[in-house]
């Protein structure tokens, strides 16, 4: 397989950022119509094609660089595609495509702001994955955030507006902090080029200055102790938007943290200890919070915090092994979490509520959606043969390699909590007694009817009442169900044939651990 690297670096890489922006202008001028909705689907497909080409070009560890405007390396603002960026671009564009299908089915496409806003947001996200310049990263994050403010508050209800206000405040705080950190980094090093900063974190002044940026990014990634804004904002917009946000916006923070920590800091610095503690705390607090939530998206959002801990803990563990685990986990998590949000969103759209107490027994009438949930939930818990199993195995492997008993134990114990929160969703929403058949206060597990597929079922009780008179059933719209199912099947596919992604993650992890190729490509002259 040959890919024209010159074409990639000259055209494709900058177009990953510019293309969605141009498309956004076009769709905004056209207004809400079939044409603009079609463009909204076409752009993520195009980015996906580019990212596949990038993966092929970089799978041997090569780095594709585009020095914007042809300035020499080190002076130009570079766009870089290495394997990590390429994989992130691929998985992001995939989830944008599926979320777009879901949004159209949910009726969001009739809003003339929706398609342009999503396109600009995704453009910013792709740009953030591709840039090799800290200030440019800041700009890309802002490009992604501005339309997200609009999407957040678009439904116009008081609840959405309040959530949008909190969301805006949190992100404004993070951005201001990021900016201050940038000033500090530039002040002590005279550059904000990420390649030029490689390894400089060992100098105390640079380490502290970069630390300000790390704190700002942790806030965006919702890592404990800066996590509490996430469950207070994400569940209060429309389900499709929550799915997009979870797959794109928090992931920029996670991606940037991985990139910056692995590039700028050296293993064994104080920052690694702090990150490990924050990650383990995230794992535990996130999963406990999820258990206490009462809505589908509440559980899923809180659980994201736990997963962020799982993803990031590998950054500071066991070098290349840990970073490979990070890459694999990040990809797995993005797919599976989006699948769960989409399936949960289907329930909300079709049943009119996301409150677990008011739902139940949906599996009988809607077996396909329930299957999608079951597959994704099993993957999230980490049961073979799903991608989640290999992802967790990677984290455990890295923890064992680094000899970190704390991380190893936390990763295992928290899995039980994940099982608990998924059981809560599964038995409360899809299995169990259909709504209206159950007293408000009857929530003891023994009361719940459990399907034969449910993992860890404690007891099966057949409710006579439900067998006699089932409520009238309306079929769910297939286009709402299919996106979530498709992503769950992708996770199953990765889990059944993990070798190719494991080897890609391994290569990506090794080039993150030893960024020599990245540094020389970015700094070493033209493309």
Which chain residues interact with another protein by CB under 8 A?
106-108, 135, 138-139, 142, 146, 149-150, 153, 155-166, 168-169, 172-173, 175-177, 179-180, 182-184, 186-187, 232, 235-241, 295, 297-298, 348-355
Alpha helices in 427-477 (DSSP H): 464-468
Cα 505–chain centre separation: 16
Minimum CB distance to another protein, residue 405 (Å)? 36
Minimum distance of another protein from residue 190's CB (angstroms): 9
CB 483 within 8 A of CB 101: yes
- Please state the closest distance from residue 480 (CB atom) to another protein, in A: 10
Q: Sign of the C-alpha dihedral, residues 41, 46, 47, 51?
A: positive
Q: Residues 194, 200: contact at Cβ < 8 Å?
A: no
Nearer to another protein, 237 or 421 (CB): 237
- Interhelix angle 387-402/319-351, rounded to 10 degrees, is 150
Distance CA 418, CA 421 (A): 5
If the CB atoms of residues 145 and 502 are measured against another protein, the closer one turns out to be 145
Alpha-carbon distance of 269 to 133, in angstroms, equals 23
Query: Whose CA is closest to 485, among 338, 384, 358, 383?
Result: 338
User: What is the nearest approach in angstroms of another protein to the Cβ of residue 432?
Assistant: 19
Whether residue 421 contacts residue 356, with contact meaning beta carbons closer than 8 Å, is answered with no
Cis peptide before 481 (omega within 30 of 0): no
Best CA proximity match to 90, nearest among 405, 504, 422, 517? 504
Report, in Å, the least distance between residue 426 CB and another protein. Answer: 19
Q: Which is nearer to another protein, 66 or 295 (CB)?
A: 295
Comparison of 168 and 288: residue with beta carbon closer to another protein: 168
Minimum gap (Å) between residue 187 Cβ and another protein = 3
Q: Which is nearer to another protein, 82 or 351 (CB)?
A: 351
| Smaller CB separation from another protein, 143 or 398 | 143
Q: Which is nearer to another protein, 48 or 430 (CB)?
A: 430
Task: Identify the residue whose tokens are 């500090």.
Answer: 184
For residues 235 and 300, give the distance between their C-alpha atoms in angstroms, rounded to a whole number: 9
User: Minimum CB separation from another protein for residue 382, in Å?
Assistant: 28
As a residue count, the chain comes to 527
């Amino acid at each position: 397989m040959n890919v024209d690297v010159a074409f990639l670096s000259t055209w494709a890489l900058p177009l990953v950022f510019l293309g969605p922006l141009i498309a956004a202008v076009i769709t905004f001028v056209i207004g809400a119509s079939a044409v603009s909705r079609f463009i909204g689907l076409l752009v993520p497909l195009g980015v996906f094609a580019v990212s596949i080409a990038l993966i092929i070009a970089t799978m041997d560890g090569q780095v594709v660089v585009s020095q914007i405007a042809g300035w020499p390396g080190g002076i130009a603002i570079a766009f870089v595609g290495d394997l990590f960026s390429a994989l992130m671009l691929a998985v992001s564009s995939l989830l944008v495509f599926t979320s777009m299908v879901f949004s159209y089915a949910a009726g969001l496409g009739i809003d003339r702001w929706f398609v342009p806003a999503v396109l600009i947001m995704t453009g910013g996200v792709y740009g953030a994955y591709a840039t090799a310049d800290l200030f440019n990263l800041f700009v890309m994050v802002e490009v992604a955030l501005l339309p997200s403010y609009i999407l957040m508050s678009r439904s116009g209800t008081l609840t959405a507006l309040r959530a949008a206000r909190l969301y805006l405040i949190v992100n404004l705080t993070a951005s201001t902090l990021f900016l201050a950190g940038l000033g500090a980094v530039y002040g002590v090093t005279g550059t904000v080029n990420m390649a030029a900063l490689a390894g400089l974190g060992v100098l105390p002044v640079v380490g502290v200055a970069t630390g300000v940026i790390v704190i700002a990014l942790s806030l965006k990634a919702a890592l404990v102790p800066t996590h509490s804004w996430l469950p207070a904002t994400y569940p209060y917009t429309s389900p499709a938007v929550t799915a997009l946000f979870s797959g794109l916006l928090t992931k920029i923070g996670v991606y940037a943290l991985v990139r910056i920590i692995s590039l700028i800091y050296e293993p064994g610095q104080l920052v690694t200890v702090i990150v490990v503690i924050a990650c383990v705390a995230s794992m535990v607090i996130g999963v406990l919070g999820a258990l206490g939530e009462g809505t589908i998206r509440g559980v899923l959002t809180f659980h994201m915090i736990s997963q962020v801990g799982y993803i990031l803990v590998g950054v500071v563990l066991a070098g290349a092994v840990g970073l490979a685990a990070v890459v694999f986990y990040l990809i797995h998590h993005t797919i599976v979490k989006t699948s769960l949000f989409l399936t949960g969103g289907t329930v909300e759209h079709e049943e009119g509520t996301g409150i677990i107490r008011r739902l139940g027994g949906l599996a009988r009438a809607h077996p396909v959606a329930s299957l999608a949930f079951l597959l994704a939930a099993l993957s999230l818990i980490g049961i073979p043969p799903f991608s989640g199993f290999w992802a967790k195995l990677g984290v455990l492997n890295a923890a064992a390699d680094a000899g970190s008993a704390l991380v190893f134990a936390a990763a295992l114990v928290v899995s039980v909590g994940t099982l608990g929160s998924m059981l809560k969703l599964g038995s409360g929403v899809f299995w169990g007694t259909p709504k209206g058949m159950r007293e408000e206060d009857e929530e003891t597990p023994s009361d719940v009817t459990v399907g034969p597929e449910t993992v860890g079922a404690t007891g099966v009780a057949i409710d006579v009442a439900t067998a006699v008179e089932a409520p009238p059933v309306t079929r769910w719209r297939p286009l709402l169900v299919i996106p979530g199912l498709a992503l769950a099947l992708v996770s199953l596919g990765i889990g059944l044939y993990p070798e190719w992604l494991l080897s890609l993650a391994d290569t990506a992890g090794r080039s993150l651990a030893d960024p020599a190729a990245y540094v020389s490509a970015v700094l070493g002259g033209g493309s």
